[in-house]
Structure 1
Amino acid sequence: MALSQGDLLRSQKKLDERGKQNLERARQKAEKERLVAERAAARQAAREEEARQKRLAQLAAEEEERRQHAEEVEANLGVFFRAELVAVPAPESIAADKGIKRAADKILLPPSAGASLMSQDAYKNGPMFFQLTNAAGNRTHAGLLEFSAAEGFVALPRKVICSLWGPDATEEHCVGRLRVAYRRLPKGERAVFQPRSASFQQEVGEDIRGVLEGALLQHSCLTRGDWLAVPHGGQRYDLRICDLHPEAAVSVIDTDLEAEINPSIETEERIREEYEAATRRAAEAALAAAAAVAEAEAEAAAQEEERLRREALRRAKEAALPAEPSPGAAEPCAACLFRFPDGSRHSRRFPLDSPLQLLFDFVDSKGASGMLPGRYSLVTQYPRRVFLPSLAEAGAEAAAAERQLTLHSAGLTGPREVLFLEQQHQLQQQPGIGDAAGGGS
Structure 2
Amino acid sequence: MPSNVHSEEEWARLQPHITKLYSDEAKSLKEVMEAMERGYDFHATPRMYKHRLQKWGLDKKYKEKEVIHMSLLKKQREALGKRSIFFVRGKEVDWEQIEKYLHRRPDLKTKIRAGMLKMSSDSFDIVCRSPSPDPILHASNTLQYTDELLRLLDGYYVSSLSECPSGKRVNKVRDYAAAIRCFRRLDQARTMILANMLEPGFLALNKSLDDLKFVVRDQDATLIFYLCDVVTIFDQRHSPLVVELLRHTYGILQITFGESHPLVWLLRRLILLPEIDRYEVIATVVKAAVDKFERPGVDDRVIERLKCHYFLLLDHMASKGIKTTASFPEMDATSMDAVSVAYLGRFADRLVHSCKFEEAERKSDLMLPWLQNTANRQHAAWPDLQLFYLHVKAHGAFTRGDNKVGEAWLATVDQHAGRYFPNM
TM-score under structure 2 normalisation?
Answer: 0.19
Of Structure 1 and Structure 2, the greater helix share is in: 2
Larger Rg: 1
Q: Which has the higher contact order (CA 8 A, sep 6+)?
A: 2
Of Structure 1 and Structure 2, the greater strand share is in: 1
